Structure 1
Amino acid sequence: MMKQMCWLPVMGTTGEKILHLRTAPNQPWRPYTAFPEYAVPDYEIPGGSKGWATYQKLMSARWNLVASMPGQQLKSA
């Protein structure tokens, strides 16, 4: 199983990025919240990154972080 993470901006926001995941090369990137088997609750920090706690968990589980490309956006979270 492929295990990839990427920080992508959400269209309609002022550059806010949230964690997105995919587990197969033919899958589109989806918000981490679409993967309840991997997601953990966000930290309750005002202005904190959405998905940071999940990112930390998955990094320790050896998921790969993929750099986002300029202009790469998703429609909604």
Structure 2
Amino acid sequence: MVKQMCWLSSFGSNEHKMLHLRTSPYEAWRPYTAFREYAVPDYPVPGGSKGWATYQKLRLSDWVLVPSDNETMDYKAS
């Protein structure tokens, strides 16, 4: 299982980026909220990044951050 994270805008728009995850290099990126086994509640900070708390948790568990400029949003609803 690969453990990859990426900050992507929803639906390929130019809005605020949100954490996306995948556990296979052949999977589409999915929002972190689709992974209940990994997601943790967001910090109650107005305007804060969606997924920041989850990102911090997963970085400590050897997940790898993939640069978003190398990735396309191949959205998969969950």
Q: TM-score, normalised by structure 2?
A: 0.85
Instruction: Please name the residue that 2:67 is paired with.
Output: 67
Distance 1:74 1:46, change over 3 A: farther
5+ unaligned residues in a row in structure 2: which ranges? none
Percent sequence identity over aligned pairs: 61
Count of aligned pairs: 77
Other structure's SS at 2:5 match: strand
Q: TM-score, normalised by structure 1?
A: 0.86
Coordinate RMSD, CA, aligned: 2.2
Q: Deviations over 1:23-42 (max 9, x none)?
A: 01111000000000000000
